[in-house]
Amino acid sequence: MTYPWHLYLMALLYVIAGIFHFIKPKIYLRIMPHYLPNAKFLVFLSGFFEIILGLALCIPILKNISIYGIILMLLVFLMIHFYMLSSKKAGAGIPRWLLILRIPMQFALMFWAYSYLNL
């Protein structure tokens, strides 16, 4: 089955984002809430899931499961985005307006994934 090009774009974005968890883990470690245990493991785990879910989007039998997985993953990532708003240090030097903008962007990404369920 052939999907629209933008589904493949979304898949590629998650795969690339996941790869960066392994290439540049320090970036992600800086924004991990201190109350979560095993931060490095969680960074690698989230990168692994981003790669797997991105690839699974392109496999017809796994597409819908992947979409639900992406939505769930983005919901979990909201915790990180809210944590980053808790202090200047947690914000990792990112402007506050951009941190605030990331919250609705998460929901837009969820909607984007959800929109492919009926394909």
118 pLDDT band, cuts 50/70/90, is confident
Question: Would you list the DSSP string of the chain?
Answer: ----HHHHHHHHHHHHHHHHHHH-HHHHHHTS-TTSS-HHHHHHHHHHHHHHHHHHTTSTTTHHHHHHHHHHHHHHHHHHHHHHTS-TTTTTT--HHHHHHHHHHHHHHHHHHHTTTT-
pLDDT tens digits, 5-46? 999 999 999 999 999 999 999 999 999 998 999 999 999 999
**More confident call, 94 vs 53:** 53
pLDDT tens digits, 69-92? 999 999 999 999 999 999 888 888
Rounded to 5°, angle at Cα 60 from 55 and 65: 70
DSSP 37: S
Question: What are the Cα distances from residue 54, in Å, to 10, 65, 97, 100?
Answer: 7, 11, 28, 25
Does this model's pTM top 0.85? yes
Sign of the dihedral defined by the CA atoms of residues 62, 8, 25, 92, in that order = negative
